[in-house]
Structure 1
Amino acid sequence: MRTYIKGAFGALAGLALAGCMSPTPPSGGSGGVERNLGGGEVTARTIALPSALPPMKAFSGTHISRPTRSNSLIAGDFIDLAFRLESGRQLPVLSRFEGPVTLRVAGGAPAYMASDLNRLMSRLRIEAGINIRQVPSNQTASINLQIVPKRELQRQVPHAACFVAPNVSSWGEYKAARGTGQMDWTQIRQRTRMSIFLPGGVSPQELRDCLHEEVAQALGPVNDLYRLHDSVFNDDNFHTVLTGFDMLILRAYYAPELKSGMSRGEVAARLPALLARLNPAGGGGAPRMTPPSPTAWKQAIVTALGHGNAMTRRQSAAKRAVAIAKQQGWNDTRMAFSLFAMGRLTLTRDSKNAFAAFREAERIYRARPETALQAAHMGVQLAAYSLSAGRAEEAVAIVNTHLGPVKRAENAALLATLLMIKAEALDHAGRGTEAQLVRLDSLGWARYGFGSNAQVGARLKEIAAISPG
Structure 2
Amino acid sequence: MRKFLLPLALVLNACTPVTPLGPIADTATRGVTSAEVNGSGLPPMKSFGAPHVTAPHISNRDLAIDFIELSFRLESGRDLPVFTRFEHPITVRVTGDPPPSLSPDLTKLIYRLQTEAGIEISRTSSSRANITIEAVTRADIRRALPQAACFVVPNVTSLSEYRRARRSARVSWSGLTTRDRLAIFLPNDASPQEVRDCLHEELAQAIGPLNDLYRLPDSVFNDDNVHTVLTGYDMMVLRAYYDPALASGMTRGQVAARLPAILARINPEGESLPPRYSARTPPAFSQAVQDALGQGSTTAERRRAVNRALRIADEMGWEDHRSAFAHYAAGRLAQLNDPVAARAHFRQADAIYARTPGTELHRAYVATQLAAHAISDGDGMTALHLVAPHIETAARNENAALLATLLLLRAEALELTGQVAHARTVRLDSLGWARYGFGPDWAVRAKLREISALNPLKARARS
- The answer to whether the superposition gives a TM-score over 0.5 is yes
The whole-number CA distance in structure 1 between the counterparts of 2:273 and 2:389 is 37
Identity, in percent, stands at 51
Partner in structure 2 of residue 216 of structure 1 = 204
Distance 1:175 1:90, change over 3 A: same
Following superposition, the deviation at residue 458 of structure 1 comes to 0.5
Partner in structure 2 of residue 128 of structure 1 = 117
Following superposition, the deviation at residue 2 of structure 1 comes to 3.8
Partner in structure 1 of residue 17 of structure 2 = none
The whole-number CA distance in structure 1 between the counterparts of 2:361 and 2:106 is 23
SS of alignment partner, residue 13 of structure 1: coil
Partner in structure 1 of residue 84 of structure 2 = 95
Matched, 1:447 2:435: yes
Q: Which structure 2 segments of 5+ residues have no match?
A: 12-38, 458-463
Distance 1:281 1:297, change over 3 A: same
The whole-number CA distance in structure 1 between the counterparts of 2:101 and 2:56 is 31
For residues 140-163 of structure 1, the C-alpha deviation after alignment (integer angstroms, 9 at most, x for no partner) is: 111110012102212322222211
The whole-number CA distance in structure 2 between the counterparts of 1:309 and 1:422 is 33
Partner in structure 1 of residue 412 of structure 2 = 424
The whole-number CA distance in structure 1 between the counterparts of 2:452 and 2:99 is 32
SS of alignment partner, residue 142 of structure 2: helix
The whole-number CA distance in structure 1 between the counterparts of 2:271 and 2:170 is 40
Matched, 1:149 2:137: yes
Following superposition, the deviation at residue 194 of structure 1 comes to 1.1
The whole-number CA distance in structure 2 between the counterparts of 1:305 and 1:436 is 34
Q: Is the 8 A contact 1:2 1:161 kept in 2?
A: no
Match of 1:171 among 151, 159, 163: 159
Distance 1:286 1:68, change over 3 A: closer
Q: Is the 8 A contact 1:271 1:287 kept in 2?
A: no
Following superposition, the deviation at residue 309 of structure 1 comes to 1.2
Partner in structure 1 of residue 27 of structure 2 = none
One-letter code of the match for 2:7? Answer: G
Distance 1:219 1:288, change over 3 A: farther
**TM-score using structure 2 length:** 0.90
The whole-number CA distance in structure 2 between the counterparts of 1:2 and 1:105 is 23
Match of 2:185 among 197, 216, 232: 197
One-letter code of the match for 2:93? Answer: R
For residues 73-112 of structure 1, the C-alpha deviation after alignment (integer angstroms, 9 at most, x for no partner) is: 0110000000000111100110000011000000311122
Following superposition, the deviation at residue 393 of structure 1 comes to 1.1
Distance 1:67 1:284, change over 3 A: same
Following superposition, the deviation at residue 296 of structure 1 comes to 2.2
SS of alignment partner, residue 134 of structure 2: strand
Match of 1:324 among 297, 309, 312: 312
The whole-number CA distance in structure 2 between the counterparts of 1:446 and 1:296 is 36
Partner in structure 2 of residue 75 of structure 1 = 64
Partner in structure 2 of residue 345 of structure 1 = 333
Q: Which structure 1 segments of 5+ residues have no match?
A: 15-49
One-letter code of the match for 1:277? Answer: R
SS of alignment partner, residue 255 of structure 2: helix
Following superposition, the deviation at residue 300 of structure 1 comes to 1.4
Following superposition, the deviation at residue 352 of structure 1 comes to 1.1
Partner in structure 2 of residue 11 of structure 1 = 8
The whole-number CA distance in structure 2 between the counterparts of 1:371 and 1:2 is 19
Q: Is the 8 A contact 2:215 2:278 kept in 1?
A: no
For residues 103-140 of structure 1, the C-alpha deviation after alignment (integer angstroms, 9 at most, x for no partner) is: 0000311122111111100000000000001001x521
The whole-number CA distance in structure 2 between the counterparts of 1:185 and 1:320 is 31
Q: Is the 8 A contact 1:403 1:415 kept in 2?
A: yes
Distance 1:431 1:378, change over 3 A: same
Matched, 1:229 2:208: no
For residues 240-266 of structure 1, the C-alpha deviation after alignment (integer angstroms, 9 at most, x for no partner) is: 100000000101010000000000000
SS of alignment partner, residue 358 of structure 1: helix
Q: Is the 8 A contact 2:309 2:326 kept in 1?
A: yes
- Counterparts of 1:355-366 in structure 2 under 5 Å? 355-366=343-354
The whole-number CA distance in structure 1 between the counterparts of 2:146 and 2:186 is 13
One-letter code of the match for 1:11? Answer: L
Partner in structure 2 of residue 239 of structure 1 = 227
Higher relative contact order (CA 8 A, sep 6+): 1
Matched, 1:457 2:454: no
Partner in structure 1 of residue 34 of structure 2 = none
Backbone CA RMSD of aligned residues:
1.7
Following superposition, the deviation at residue 282 of structure 1 comes to 0.4
SS of alignment partner, residue 173 of structure 1: helix
* Alignment: residue pair count: 430
